[in-house]
Structure 1
Amino acid sequence: MQVFGSSGTRGVANEELTPAFVLRVAKAAGTAWGADRVAIARDTRYTGRMLADAAASGLASTGTDVDRIGIVPTPGAQSYAEREGVPVIMITASHNPPQYNGIKLVGSDGIELVVSELEEIEDVLLGETFTVAPWDETGRSRTIDGVTETYVDELLSAADRETIADANLTVALDPGHGAGALTSPEFLRKLGCRVVTVNGQPDGKFPGRNPEPVPDNLENLGQLVRATDADVGIAHDGDADRAIFFDETGAYVNGDATLAALAAAELEAGDTTVSAVNVSQRLVDVVTEAGAELELTPIGSTNIITRIEELEAKGEHVPIAGEGNGGIFFPSFRLTRDGAFTAARFLELVAEQPVSEIVAPYDGYANVRHNLEYESTAERDAMLDAAANHAQSSDADLNTRDGYRLDHGDAWVLARPSGTEPLVRIYAEARDTERARELADKLYETLSDAKTDA
């Protein structure tokens, strides 16, 4: 696909992702869907209203009525889609920096569009074969209130409230000024938790931290856990479809360890789980111990959703899936990444034992990650060519499903282009930090040299 990447389409707002572009995407979606009504939601980003207005105009021009549901987490918008039976255009750049914005497209079943559905919309967009309604048949817009409240009620009905409430947990929460600030504090309090927050005010300029919930951005959350003697820390990204955790000492919990712990609680013999090519050995070990199967896809929620639907169509049971970035699926609840629901499922485990003990079996792995920015396709292609040459000269097992993953037996390293930013990402994992850093640094130097020479 030329327009849609691993999780929608994104760019710097008003430079790459302009109102004119969003209008065209909305016209293409309205044309392809042919629905009477489509909802538009957004996260808290400063440019969100501007781009939502453009999307509403594009839809109306195709004769589609518009439900404006306002600021709501992406999983809350998906809840609305499923409940009302209408597709949704979600204006969000998820974890990207504040200057970015983007578009996610959700079907009337509440599930992000799979690759084939995105390709259909992209064909309309690139071919400019838009439906054009007569002037007196253009769509009307209406504002819908109460969407976040209904979403919270739905979460509460799906969570184990009794187990969590009986544990009298204190939760330190960092919604990162994003859409989760409107829902997660209330949800967690209604679960019976004492909740303290940092970066808890919705603010589209994200003054307290960048939206991506990675350790460098979450120092204040660790401090809050320690200062309030909290049982757990929870962080979201900009649209709250991810959850990252801190233990009771204020230490960051690797997202791969969280996924492994939740998978260990869910998987049984004969089950299947789905993850991406940067999968941690933690999850591989859990799957093996459970007697389950692991399916790998290219990185990104779109690819994982597509594979889950294929597996379920064949009658396979997929109780959990996801990536180590905090984006986890519980398909029996809804085929969506939901940061608040993931938090509730993790709190069910925390009610029984401390976070540090929950993730202790998944220690002993070291992860290193580097990013290399590029300013042109020539630089990107030079780096990917260098990665290919590096892989060919290595005696490691090569996987090219998404980039170049080299498995060395005791460790692995992966280089791949980001699907949402102008970056080539490098990931490495090993049993000790020195080995992981050695693999990541070596590949980083190779790609950096290639970029310089491009």
Structure 2
Amino acid sequence: MMSKLEFHFGTDGVRGVIDEDFTEYLVATLAESTIRYWSRRYGLRHLLVGFDARRKSQDFARIVTSVALNHGIDVVMVNRPTPTPVVAWFGFRFGFDLVIQITASHNPPVYNGFKVISRIGAPAQEEDTNQIEKTYQEEAEDIARSVRDLELRPVPTVDPAPEYINYVIDSVTKMFKPRRRFKVIVDPIYATSIGYTSEILKRLGMDVVEIHSNYDPSFGGRDPNPEPQNIPELIQEVTGGKYEVGISHDGDSDRIALVDQRHGYLSANDILPIVVERLASASMIKKGIVRTVSTTHILDRIAAKYGFKVVEVPVGVKYVARAILNGEVDMGGEESGGLVYSWHIPDKDGIYTASLIIAMASEYGDLTGLIDDVRGKYGRAYFKRVDIDMRNSKMFVNENREALANAFSALGSNPRLITIDGVKVVYDDGSWLLIRGSGTEPKLRIYSEALSMGRVEELINKAVEIVNRLPKP
């Protein structure tokens, strides 16, 4: 008898190192457990399965489809590596009861993952993923027998690209009218956004060049995360004056990074204020916005001007999605590069956001001017995140919560403590410091934002010193 597996749905699914803790048997077990629970709880007749460009992703997807066939489910698989938000939108638009995506998003190339998406295009909430885990714990032996001699069988495939691309163009041009043609360079980093963002922008009237446009499971030897160290060619081409705007996404295209000719690299904490300000000025934000604890407080300044609320939630798009689905807010986002809209799917979509920003900037005049306008109104915040390798990082934060809170509170005046995810302290000069354990990697994350880079560095350095003095799990 095979030994019982250990798995847990983290911030955005189950992830692990391919062939070590993320194996064919684990994928079959996850699929069987998910299908059993979903069928009993919600009913499951139609399943869509997607996959990214990672090693073995398509093979893992075929395992999922074969498990579904054994249950008599009508299952369809995408025909090529496909962005997570595209699979989520297609599943919602065409009435699938459930979507399963094989992806590890922005994680290093050695990882892969299993993500569950509901019929409305939202990431599965904790109450459901907890029940999937419980289903396996209670039925482990029977589940093992069910998947032990799994026969792989062919299933129909579909290309969601044409429908999705037409939808995005129609959606963004109803809100903003592109007026000026930009020279844009797009870097899909050898991953799922190949042929998506570039095609949409061309049809919006932009002059577009796409680089790194072949699928590569090693992502060119870099991590598939659009941070500066992973997109140097894109940054050089734009800041060197050859292009006006650069756009990149992560491995499954739910994140976005921008490069502006004058302002250089723009992270999500730079991008979010631009999007929120333009949407608010167009009267598209009425209820409010949601941001995670690690996301810029410049959004609070914009909200104060327009008179709408800000809801703060733990890190993880599922929490952002929950606030939107509950009808509390109109849109939201998180520091890691994802924006979510109530009129779109309740999940991050880097391709949709890129298209929306280009339409906004083209109507306004240019991206540089748009950035200047927003920073002129609300100021510029500086941000930094430091990752420390640490297993059981969440346990470390939990066991040292009081010590961390006391030490962080001594780093500024009138400290305000927030503990919905890790330990966060906000100071009266507008700066803040956050420490939390990652839900996707064995990392301890430290974040800070302030109105000067000097203050950010001061807070980060003090936090690292504090961490080094505390006992590790």
> TM exceeds 0.5?
yes
Correspondent of 2:399 among 380, 385, 395 = 385
Q: Which residue of 1 aligns with 2:3?
A: none
SS of residue in 1 equivalent to 2:161 = helix
Q: Which residue of 2 aligns with 1:249?
A: 262
Deviation at 1:290, TM superposition (A): 1.1
SS of residue in 2 equivalent to 1:207 = helix
SS of residue in 2 equivalent to 1:337 = coil
d(CA) in 2 for partners of 1:160 and 1:382? 47
d(CA) in 1 for partners of 2:394 and 2:290? 28
Residue 446 of structure 1 aligns with an amino acid whose one-letter code is I
Correspondent of 1:258 among 261, 271, 275 = 271
The answer to whether structure 1 residue 59 and structure 2 residue 68 are counterparts is yes
SS of residue in 1 equivalent to 2:76 = strand
Deviation at 1:139, TM superposition (A): 10
SS of residue in 1 equivalent to 2:387 = strand
Residue 20 of structure 2 aligns with an amino acid whose one-letter code is E
d(CA) in 1 for partners of 2:146 and 2:232? 52
**Preserved contact between residue 112 and residue 302 of structure 1 (Cα < 8 Å):** yes
Q: 1:55 to 1:211 in 2, by over 3 A?
A: same
d(CA) in 2 for partners of 1:241 and 1:254? 14
Residue 4 of structure 1 aligns with an amino acid whose one-letter code is F
d(CA) in 1 for partners of 2:334 and 2:318? 12
d(CA) in 2 for partners of 1:284 and 1:214? 25
Correspondent of 1:232 among 245, 254, 267 = 245
SS of residue in 1 equivalent to 2:216 = coil
Residue 357 of structure 1 aligns with an amino acid whose one-letter code is G
SS of residue in 2 equivalent to 1:336 = coil
**Preserved contact between residue 61 and residue 139 of structure 1 (Cα < 8 Å):** no
d(CA) in 2 for partners of 1:161 and 1:238? 29
d(CA) in 2 for partners of 1:162 and 1:443? 43
Correspondent of 2:356 among 342, 345, 349 = 345
Deviation at 1:31, TM superposition (A): 0.8
**Preserved contact between residue 387 and residue 415 of structure 1 (Cα < 8 Å):** no
Correspondent of 2:85 among 56, 75, 78 = 75
The answer to whether structure 1 residue 204 and structure 2 residue 217 are counterparts is yes
Deviation at 1:212, TM superposition (A): 1.0
Q: Deviations over 1:139-160 (max 9, x none)?
A: 9652323322222222222221
**Pairing 1:141-180 to 2, within 5 Å after superposition:** 141-160=154-173, 166-180=179-193
Which deviates more, 99-108 or 182-191?
A: 182-191
**Preserved contact between residue 67 and residue 141 of structure 1 (Cα < 8 Å):** no
SS of residue in 1 equivalent to 2:417 = strand
Q: Deviations over 1:104-142 (max 9, x none)?
A: 1111222222222222222212322667889xxx99652
d(CA) in 2 for partners of 1:342 and 1:230? 19
d(CA) in 1 for partners of 2:200 and 2:131? 37
**Preserved contact between residue 63 and residue 139 of structure 1 (Cα < 8 Å):** no
SS of residue in 1 equivalent to 2:158 = coil
**Preserved contact between residue 177 and residue 208 of structure 1 (Cα < 8 Å):** no
**Pairing 1:208-219 to 2, within 5 Å after superposition:** 209-219=222-232
Residue 245 of structure 2 aligns with an amino acid whose one-letter code is V
d(CA) in 2 for partners of 1:259 and 1:368? 16
The answer to whether structure 1 residue 320 and structure 2 residue 331 are counterparts is yes
Q: 1:270 to 1:149 in 2, by over 3 A?
A: closer
Q: Which residue of 1 aligns with 2:318?
A: 302
Q: Which residue of 1 aligns with 2:449?
A: 429
Deviation at 1:263, TM superposition (A): 0.8
State the Cα RMSD in Å.
2.7
d(CA) in 1 for partners of 2:31 and 2:94? 19
Q: Extract unaligned runs of 5+ from structure 1.
A: none
Residue 182 of structure 2 aligns with an amino acid whose one-letter code is L
Q: Deviations over 1:337-384 (max 9, x none)?
A: 111110111112211133222223335311121111124x3x763455
**Preserved contact between residue 291 and residue 332 of structure 2 (Cα < 8 Å):** yes
Which deviates more, 149-158 or 298-307?
A: 149-158
**Preserved contact between residue 426 and residue 433 of structure 2 (Cα < 8 Å):** yes
SS of residue in 2 equivalent to 1:60 = helix
SS of residue in 1 equivalent to 2:346 = strand
**Preserved contact between residue 197 and residue 354 of structure 2 (Cα < 8 Å):** no
**Pairing 1:266-277 to 2, within 5 Å after superposition:** 266-267=279-280, 268=283, 270-277=286-293
Q: Deviations over 1:255-278 (max 9, x none)?
A: 212101111122357521111111
Q: Which residue of 1 aligns with 2:418?
A: 399
The answer to whether structure 1 residue 32 and structure 2 residue 37 are counterparts is yes
Deviation at 1:428, TM superposition (A): 0.5
Deviation at 1:208, TM superposition (A): 5.7
Q: Which residue of 1 aligns with 2:103?
A: 92
**Preserved contact between residue 164 and residue 191 of structure 1 (Cα < 8 Å):** no
Q: Which residue of 2 aligns with 1:119?
A: 130
Q: Extract unaligned runs of 5+ from structure 2.
A: 1-5
Q: Deviations over 1:35-71 (max 9, x none)?
A: 1231110111112123213322333343334211132
Q: Which residue of 1 aligns with 2:460?
A: 440
Residue 105 of structure 1 aligns with an amino acid whose one-letter code is V
Deviation at 1:422, TM superposition (A): 0.6
Correspondent of 2:438 among 413, 418, 431 = 418
Q: Deviations over 1:404-424 (max 9, x none)?
A: 001122211000011100111
Which deviates more, 379-388 or 360-369?
A: 379-388
**Preserved contact between residue 286 and residue 330 of structure 2 (Cα < 8 Å):** no
Residue 47 of structure 2 aligns with an amino acid whose one-letter code is V
d(CA) in 1 for partners of 2:184 and 2:94? 33
d(CA) in 1 for partners of 2:17 and 2:313? 27
SS of residue in 2 equivalent to 1:178 = coil
Residue 166 of structure 1 aligns with an amino acid whose one-letter code is R
d(CA) in 2 for partners of 1:22 and 1:345? 35
The answer to whether structure 1 residue 8 and structure 2 residue 13 are counterparts is yes
d(CA) in 2 for partners of 1:206 and 1:193? 26
